[in-house]
Amino acid sequence: MQSILPLPAQPVKPGTSTGQQFWHSATADRTEKTIDSYSPADGQLIARVHLSTRADYDRVVEIAQAAFAGWRLVPAPRRGEIVRQMGDQFRRYKRELGTLVSYEMGKSLQEGLGEVQEIIDICDFAVGLSRQLYGLSMHSERPAHRMLEQWHPLGVVGIISAFNFPVAVWSWNAMLAWVCGDVCIWKPSEKTPLTALACQQIIGDVLRNNDVPEGVSCLVTGGRDVGEWLARDPRIALLSATGSTRMGKAVAEAVAGRLGRSLLELGGNNAIIVSEHADLDLAIPAIVFGAVGTAGQRCTTTRRLIVQDSIYNDVKKRLKHAYAQLRIGNPLDESFHVGPLIDTQAVAGYQAAVKAVYDQGGRFVVEPGVLSGLGFESGCYVKPCIAEAENHWPIVQHETFAPILYLLRYTTLDDAIAQQNGVPQGLSSSIFTLNMREAERFLSAAGSDCGIANVNIGTSGAEIGGAFGGEKETGGGRESGSDAWKAYMRRQTNTINYGTTLPLAQGITFEL
């Protein structure tokens, strides 16, 4: 595959992405370790990227700290203007970057383009936000006093992103952090390093043309060791981490050990409840897309379908018919609905889950399988499948990052909600019903315990205007819209005495 962005042909070594230089010289050193990025679409080697050493990492943090000293003093609307220009650059390169996302990660081209659109949308959101970082004013109990609160930048923000959304989730964090006055160090997934390097290159002219300090946008590459450096480093004011619950627990423990701040977006085990009052013509497409989109590798993927007894067989029949229409193949070919899993390790996870379904008493109504032969040479293509199961089974309680949908029954709405909530994760949820009382019950305090609860739409496809995140083992973090910006700033309460006396709060008197 030819380069779709002006990327170097030789192995590259990322350092800071700055207003001066994005690519350090890349003479290969046999003693240096590299990440080999292979496309799951065809198994081809795309790029070889050098890993950051500990010395590289420390240098990047020092440069970021120095940049923060000046960046925090740039007026927020001016920072927003720079982000606006970044949004224009992503508009310019939407097709190219979306294609690279699709090729390196394996999601369909439409989803790759949609991911770049998310970057553009969050840029637009952040521009408006740059003029709305509001504090409050409060009345003081003391005469001739004024109280207020204001928000200040935190400092260096670390961003650990996952392979399934290799660029969008970075942008949710970075664009908001930048308008808030923070600087960013990004550790992309070691499975998708090239898309991260491409993003840094795309914003290069914007940073250079606006004389942005070196270190405002930085990149470090590597695996678990780099994540641990970020988590344990007291110089990192906030660490935003997206990934598995296992990873998130390790990050949370390390950051809490130094009394730092973390923002966690972790696993999801998302369910759709289908009521007997549902419009099935609306529900079936949402279920199928939620279950097979990105080959089941979204944190918001629909993994459990909880169906009312009276329509269970009808829903099952419709789903079998819909799954029979799915076309699996090269994600760059828009005639295909489903692309590959990220790598053969993910395929092994899919196979282990299939075995667990059989071992725990399940039955597949749409059969699983690993595809091979012409067009499937990478070994990463699997069949989306549906299994009849029970909510309490260990495999159903577990999040498998693959297109496996578990079909469950319910009798009463209380039963359905109990099953929906009866897993360790709490990210996204949905109910399909035309009954207003059922919908409102699902959205009430006694309903879904997830961070996202939808009515008559699926579990995936969140818009950037609302805060994104979940509860329980999903980590409790919130990114993107609403007031998620507050996570990237520190609150300060101020009291100003403009009088000639010094009254104390609570009526306390003190005389010398």
Sequence letter at residue 172: W
Task: Write out pLDDT tens, residues 183-214.
Answer: 999 999 999 999 999 999 999 999 999 999 99
pLDDT over 60 (residue 19): no
Say whether 265 is catalytic.
Answer: yes
Q: How many CA atoms lie within 13 A of 313 on its CB side?
A: 1
Put simply, whether the predicted model's pTM sits higher than 0.85 gets the answer yes
pLDDT at 41: 97
Q: Domain extents for the chain? A: 13-265+475-492, 270-468
Rounded to whole angstroms, how far apart are CA atoms 345 and 358? 20
Sequence letter at residue 485: W
13-265+475-492 has which fold? Aldehyde Dehydrogenase; Chain A, domain 1 (3.40.605)
Q: Which residue in the list 104, 111, 118, 265 is annotated as catalytic?
A: 265
**Segment 366-388 mean pLDDT:** 97
Three-state DSSP class for residue 443? helix
Identify the CATH class of 270-468.
alpha beta
Sequence letter at residue 286: A
Rounded to whole angstroms, how far apart are CA atoms 252 and 477? 11
Q: Which contiguous run of DSSP H or E holds residue 355?
A: helix 344-359
pLDDT at 14: 52
Task: Write out pLDDT tens, residues 261-314.
Answer: 999 999 999 999 999 999 999 999 999 999 999 999 999 999 999 999 999 999
Instruction: Please give the angle made by the CA atoms of 172, 173 and 174, to the nearest 5 degrees.
Output: 105
pLDDT at 32: 73
Task: Write out pLDDT tens, residues 454-479.
Answer: 999 999 988 999 999 999 999 999 99
User: Which region among 15-19, 133-137, 150-154 has the lowest average model confidence (pLDDT)?
Assistant: 15-19
pLDDT over 90 (residue 44): yes
Q: What are phi and psi of 474, to 5 degrees?
A: -80, -15
Other Cβ atoms less than 10 A from the Cβ of 197: the count is 24
